[in-house]
Amino acid sequence: MGNCSPSPRRRGRPTSPSGSPPLDRTPSAKAAGGGATTTTVSPYALASSPSVSAAEADGDDGVVRVYGSDGCPVAWRVRVALLYKAAAPVHFTPSEAAPLGRPVLRLSASDPELCGTADELLRHVDARFEGKPLVTPPERPARVSAAAAAAEEVAELVRLQHRSAERHLEGVAAKVAEMVKKGAKKAGKGPKVVVVEGAEVRRLGKWYGDAMEVMLEHARMEETVLFPDIQRASFPGVLDKANEQHGRHLPMMNGIKEDIKTLLTLELGSSLFQEVLVNLSVRLKALQDRTKEHFKEEERELLPRLEGVRRMQREEGNVSDKSNTAWASEAMGTMEMTHSKLFPFFMTGLLPQEAMQYLDLVCRCTKNTRHLVSMLRSLAERLEDANPAIIHNNPTKLYEHLLVKSP
């Protein structure tokens, strides 16, 4: 997952004052659930780095520290995983001179510094901080066909995108229902009381607009990457209902967008404002119900066909990259906004364990290291603003919390 090595001029390994190498190359204790070992790094190796002070190398008890290049995807992945664990404060120190050219993890002041691959470091995190989410990628079956492995990657991608879209729609609908309830409690006599603020409506517009963009990109991905070959590999008409539902959802989504725009032009708290708000709530509930049913049908009727589709593609010679992740990578690559500007938004629609699954997919399917680092950095920066209890208990409340804190 990317190259974390420092620049050539910094590739030399630091030595201790006595001339002995600073790295203890004896295997560290094996992390729970895996047989791979990591390298223990001496405190001198960190303290001697020009980017890390001696005080930081000593660390504060209870603080998890990650040292590594700012352009290293492994360092950013470990940092994001620790934020989702939300078990201890996390401090990241950019250090181009990190030992072995790879990120270093220190779980507490009393623990040794550990250096290894992403999976090795994540296993140490799970071993130290028990409980969900498990941040170590699950073991994948070794004896499945290439077609089955590729199909499962794509199916997992689609299912997780469905879950995020469902939860964001649920969050928007719940917010509108809350606004309707506040408006209904408005005092009927005496001074006028405005209980719904303009900032709430603007935030609602952004929330729904982002959700709509992700859903439209998801639909376009299915229509361009998946549906044509599903149609050829199956029987005529298998996709008629799915395509019909895609076409029916778009006018509903646009109508809701126009309702929110209308709210922004009306006097807050007026009877017309409340009427449009109630109508918006009804429309959102209808879209939410139809979307859930549509996703269920796709997962029941179409995703089981993907293995046959991939087998057909390979037999026809239409698979240039035969790796298991190539198909999922192609699907992910068509959703540019979802996997760039809107990536933190998309991820807040997933429960922590689902987020770890999607993060694993992203790290395995994204070949451009700079783009991967950009995605992970944007997510880490948003999670750092969040209350850990919100991350674990309610993903859409997490997004609303971050939305309120946005400038």
Going by pLDDT thresholds of 50, 70 and 90, the confidence category of residue 185 is low
Residue 291 sits at φ, ψ, to 5 deg, of -65, -45
Average pLDDT over residues 389-402: 65
C-alpha distance from residue 55 to each of 89, 212, 282, 300, 335 (Å): 17, 47, 58, 56, 43
- The per-residue pLDDT for 387 is 67
CATH number of 64-129: 3.40.30.10
Residue 401 CB neighbour total at 10 angstroms: 16
Q: Global pTM?
A: 0.83
β-pairing, 39-41 vs 113-115, is: antiparallel
The long-range contacts involving 312-319, CB below 8 angstroms and separated by at least 24 positions, are 312/229, 312/232, 312/233, 313/229, 314/146, 314/147
- The per-residue pLDDT for 395 is 60
The listed range with the strongest mean pLDDT (82-96, 131-145, 322-336) is 322-336
CA 129 – CA 105 distance, rounded (Å): 14
Average pLDDT over residues 248-268: 93
| C-beta of residue 390 within 8 angstroms of C-beta of residue 352 | no
Whether the pLDDT of residue 215 is over 80: the answer is: yes
Answer whether CATH 1.10.1060 is correct for domain 146-187+194-335: no
CA 236 – CA 233 distance, rounded (Å): 9
Whether the pLDDT of residue 226 is over 80: the answer is: yes
At 5, the amino acid letter reads: S
pLDDT in tens, 275-299: 999 999 999 999 999 999 999 999 9
β-pairing, 64-68 vs 104-106, is: antiparallel
Question: At CA 290, angle to CA 286 and CA 291, rounded to 5?
Answer: 115
Average pLDDT taken over every residue of the chain: 81
pLDDT in tens, 32-77: 444 445 554 433 333 334 344 444 445 456 789 998 888 999 999 9
pLDDT in tens, 261-273: 999 999 988 899 9
Residue 382 CB neighbour total at 10 angstroms: 20
- The per-residue pLDDT for 197 is 83
- The per-residue pLDDT for 54 is 46
Length of the chain: 407
Going by pLDDT thresholds of 50, 70 and 90, the confidence category of residue 365 is very high
What is the domain partition of the chain in residue ranges? 64-129, 146-187+194-335
- The per-residue pLDDT for 385 is 77
- The per-residue pLDDT for 103 is 87
